[in-house]
Amino acid sequence: MAKITYIAHDGSSRTLEVKAGLTVMEGAVKNNVPGIDADCGGACACATCHVYVDEAWMDKVGAASAMEESMLDFAEGVKPNSRLSCQIKVTDALDGLVVTTPESQH
């Protein structure tokens, strides 16, 4: 279990207990957190689960794969702390993680 805080573009936030083994994307979708669409269900095929990882957590979530990098290259509003949330597996070490969703997923 890890507590994950999802902050929406408008500043509203939700903190949820997400089971280890799920992805940050699944934690959002299963709880109807707005702003994470995840059209492909986690296949790293669509870039509609784009999030900004809180700077303090960048090391802990690890680096993006080459596949993820090339998907992110074309997502809207990409920043150095952009990740696809379907590629971040939740572990106990991510307890407290904070991510922010972008204005749009296109």
Partner 1 sequence: MSEPGVVIVGAGHAGGSAAAFLRQYGFTGPLSLIGEEPLAPYQRPPLSKAWLKGEADAEALMLRPDSFYSENDIVLRLGVRAERIDRDARTVILSGGEAVPYATLILATGARARRIPLPGLDLGGVLALRTAADADQLKSALGPGRRLAVIGGGYIGLEAAASARALGAEAVVIEREPRVLARVACEALSTFFQDYHRKHGVHFILDAGVEGIVGGDGRAAAVKLAGGDLVEADAFLVGVGAVPNQELAVDAGLHCSDGIVVDLEARTSDPAIFAIGDCTRRPMPLYGARMHRLESVPNALEQAKQAASALTGRPAPAGEVPWFWSDQYDLKLQIAGLPFDAVQTVIRGDIAAAKFAVFHLDAEHRLQAVEAVNAPPEFMAGRLLIGQRKAVAPDKLRDMSISMKEVAA
| Contact residues: partner 1, CB under 8 A | 26, 29-32, 34, 37, 39-41, 43-47, 67, 70-71, 73-75, 106
Q: How far is the CB of 55 from partner 1 (least distance, A)?
A: 25
**C-beta closer to partner 1: residue 55 or 73:** 73
Spatial separation of the C-alpha atoms in residues 52 and 65, rounded to whole Å: 16
Evaluate whether 45 touches 86 at the Cβ level (below 8 Å).
no
Q: How far is the CB of 69 from partner 1 (least distance, A)?
A: 9
Cα 82–Cα 88–Cα 2 angle in degrees, nearest 5: 115
